[in-house]
């Protein structure tokens, strides 16, 4: 009976060691994906920022034309909507980058209280 218990304990120990190794690998994969997501997010933010700058200039031109009567309310409204969408996209991507950065900081430090309240 004791020999059987020892074998069972060894099997459980090996099983636990394998599960630990699997969890380490899963965590490594999560960290790697977080870093890739952060890099991709920065690129998305830069693209959204460039789009916002373009749409700001475009709206300014449409606004000047509207003030002089060269553009009707529909075109002005469409330009304003496009600008609003560009602003929303820039904000969304900026917040995603921030969240991804905080996620990486959490993975590297293990602390989350300081990340949230600072």
How confident is the model over 75-100, as a mean pLDDT? 97
Tell me the per-residue pLDDT of 2-58, one tens digit each, with 9 for 90 and over.
888 888 989 999 999 999 999 999 999 999 999 999 999 999 999 999 999 999 999
- Residues spanned by the domain of 14: 2-117
What is the separation of C-alpha 105 from the centre of its chain, rounded to a whole number of angstroms?
Answer: 13
**pTM (global) more than 0.75:** yes
Q: How many domains does the chain have?
A: 1
> Across all residues in the chain, what is the average pLDDT?
92
Percent of the chain topping pLDDT 70: 94
| Predicted local distance difference test score (pLDDT) of residue 71 | 95
Q: Which two tokens stand for residue 70?
A: 């060269």
Mapping DSSP to helix (H, G, I), strand (E, B) and coil, where does residue 73 land? helix
Cβ–Cβ under 8 Å, residues 90 and 48: yes
Task: Give the residue with greater pLDDT, 42 vs 116.
Answer: 42
Does pLDDT of 1 surpass 90? no
């Amino acid at each position: 009976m004791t020999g059987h218990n020892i074998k069972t304990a060894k099997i459980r120990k090996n099983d636990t060691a394998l599960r630990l190794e699997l969890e380490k690998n899963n965590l490594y994969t999560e960290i790697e994906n977080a870093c890739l997501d952060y890099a991709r997010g920065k690129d998305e933010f830069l693209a959204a920022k460039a789009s916002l700058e373009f749409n700001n200039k475009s709206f300014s031109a449409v606004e000047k034309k509207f003030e002089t009567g060269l553009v009707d309310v529909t075109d002005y409204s469409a330009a304003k909507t496009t600008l609003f969408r560009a602003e929303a996209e820039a904000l969304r991507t900026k917040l995603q980058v921030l969240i991804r950065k905080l996620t990486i900081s959490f993975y590297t430090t293990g602390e989350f209280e300081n990340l949230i309240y600072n």
